């Protein structure tokens, strides 16, 4: 569904993405992992068209991201930190989003009505907060609303950036259930998370970035086979340890070269 070719992105002298090429399979849950500052959020925002790469291209179902914004109509996005307007009420924000997405009252039936995440407003008890202004919500409640909006419209592609951050255990469990339901519906899901135990029972494909470079893009089954790890969490831990060792060896080689 998503094809990324030779993607590069820099901010000044800082290279954030370095010649990244990969494919994200349709209808599966793909985990995007890596250490801090690996380029994960920049890659997600590039797919959304919110960040313009320096070079390379991204194609979603034959629609180039840079030239054909129509693909965005089929995306549900859950940012790591939602930027809600503090002066709006929860109900007003939902009405505004429904109107933008063509899911307002009286609209023709569509994927909105069949979305597994349609009931997250009730599941997260957000119905009682409709008259509260967004600026008064706690971090956990804002994250629940963030999730409810991302899953609300029956998207074919879900981009979830640290989706369980700030959620209580019950809300995390419910959200993971909804992600699994979306997979059964055939939705393509790309999810980033530092809490790999959250992805252990969900992810089928994994992308591993280090310093903006692609180190691994494979099925979870293949990764477990190659690393000999019993689960995804330990497999990624071994990848990270190898990255640290490689970086240390490179530093030592540089030091020896300078000394020579």
Q: What is the pLDDT of residue 108?
A: 42
With a threshold of 0.95, does the pTM exceed it?
A: no
CA dihedral 15, 79, 196, 166 (to 10 degrees): 130
Query: 10-residue block means of pLDDT along the chain (260 residues)?
Result: 95 96 96 92 93 94 78 88 93 92 57 64 91 96 95 92 92 92 93 84 93 95 93 88 65 50
- What is the DSSP code string of 153-187? T--SEEEEESTTTT--HHHHHHHHHHHHHHHHHT-
Q: How far is CA 147 from the centre of its chain?
A: 12
- The answer to whether residues 241 and 35 touch, using CB atoms and an 8 Å cutoff, is no
User: Which candidate, 191, 89, 65, 74, places its Cα nearest to that of 137?
Assistant: 89
Is 2-259 assigned to CATH 3.40.50.300?
A: yes
Where do the domains of the chain lie?
2-259
Collapsing DSSP to helix, strand or coil, 75 comes out as strand
Q: What is the pLDDT of residue 245?
A: 64
The reported pLDDT for the residue numbered 113 is: 56
> Residue 122's pLDDT is what?
87
User: For residue 110, what pLDDT is reported?
Assistant: 53
């Amino acid at each position: 569904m998503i094809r990324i070719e030779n993607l590069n992105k820099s901010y000044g002298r800082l290279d954030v993405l370095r010649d990244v090429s990969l494919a994200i399979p349709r209808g599966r849950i793909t985990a995007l992992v890596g250490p801090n500052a690996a380029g994960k959020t920049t890659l997600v925002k590039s797919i959304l068209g919110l960040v313009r790469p320096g070079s390379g291209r991204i194609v979603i179902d034959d629609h180039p991201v840079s030239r054909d914004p129509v693909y965005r109509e089929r995306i549900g996005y859950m940012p790591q930190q939602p930027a809600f307007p503090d002066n709006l009420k929860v109900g007003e924000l939902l009405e505004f989003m429904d109107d933008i997405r063509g899911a307002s009252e009286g609209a023709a039936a569509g994927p909105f009505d069949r979305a597994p995440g349609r009931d997250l407003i009730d599941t997260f008890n957000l119905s009682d907060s409709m008259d509260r202004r967004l600026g008064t919500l706690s971090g956990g409640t804002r994250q629940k609303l963030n999730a409810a909006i991302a899953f609300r419209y029956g998207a074919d592609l879900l981009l979830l950036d640290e989706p369980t951050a700030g959620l209580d255990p019950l809300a995390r469990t419910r959200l993971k259930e909804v992600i699994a339901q979306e997979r059964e519906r055939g939705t393509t899901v790309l999810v980033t998370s530092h809490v790999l135990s959250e992805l252990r029972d969900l992810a089928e494909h994994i992308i591993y970035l280090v310093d903006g470079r692609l180190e691994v893009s494979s099925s979870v089954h293949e990764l477990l086979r190659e690393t000999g790890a019993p689960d995804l969490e330990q497999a990624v831990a071994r990848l990270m340890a190898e990255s640290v060792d490689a970086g240390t060896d490179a530093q030592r080689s540089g030091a020896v070269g300078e000394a020579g």
